[in-house]
Amino acid sequence: MTQELLDQALVEEATKKSGLIWVRGDGEPSAAGPGQEVPTRALWHVWHDGAACLVGDGPGEQPLPGLADGGHAVVTVRSKDKGGRLVTWSATVVELAAHSPAWEAAVGELKGKRLNAPDGEAMPERWARECRVVRLEPTGATAGLPESSLAEPPLPTPATTRLPVPAALPRLLLKRRRRG
């Protein structure tokens, strides 16, 4: 019983203090085809009422692949100070119905943490129309730290690296400094 309480306290405190959590759901990935494994994603969240709350799957919001209502997820939490893995815990995924009391409470917390929202005060209505709000409720099970690093190659993306600096740019920058 004491170990369970310690694990619960570790999950709650570590998740509250971490800005990102790594989540892998067991549902079908939305972007990948059937039979492909759901990728682990770094997601921003808030800890509210005993669970990690997330918003996503809408335009301009984070993807939530594999997080289906009633499904399970594995959550890995890092240390905010050092960035190392602190705890890995199991969760049940609960999708909140738009405008329900639980949804309103979760969105009230999420709204304060959402950075650079394009629509400001209209954000909750957009989330109700176009996004999903989910709770990751801890089941009480934690996993030990793995032997390996679990490092994976980056997910495919259309983003590219910067192009080389044009040859004339250093000369142009130096001319401005000499004049000033």
Q: Is the pLDDT of residue 33 over 60?
A: no
DSSP string computed for 113-156: H--S-SSGGGHHHHHHHH-EEEEEEEEEEEEPPPSS----PPPP
Handedness of CA 168, 171, 177, 180 (dihedral sign): negative
How much is the pLDDT for 82? 82
Question: Is pLDDT above 60 for 32?
Answer: no
| Mean pLDDT to the nearest integer, 148-164 | 78
Residue 48: pLDDT band with limits 50, 70, 90: very high
Average pLDDT of span 43-62: 93
When pLDDT is averaged across residues 86-110 and rounded to a whole number, the result is 95
pLDDT tens for 53-68 read 999 998 889 999 899 9
Do residues 89 and 143 make contact, with C-beta atoms less than 8 angstroms apart? yes
Task: Go through the domains of the chain in sequence order and give each one's CATH number.
Answer: 2-179 (2.30.110.10)
> Residue 139 pLDDT more than 80?
yes
Residue 66, class by beta-carbon neighbours within 10 Å (0-12 exposed, 13-18 middle, 19+ buried)?
Answer: buried
* pTM as predicted: 0.78
Least confident of 51-60, 78-87, 89-98: 78-87
As a whole number, the mean pLDDT across the chain is 86
Residue 88, classed as helix, strand or coil, is: strand
- The answer to whether the beta carbons of residues 47 and 135 sit under 8 Å apart is no
> How many Å separate Cα 51 from the centre of its chain?
13
Residue range 105-131: mean pLDDT, rounded = 90
**How confident is residue 94, by pLDDT bands cut at 50, 70 and 90?**
very high
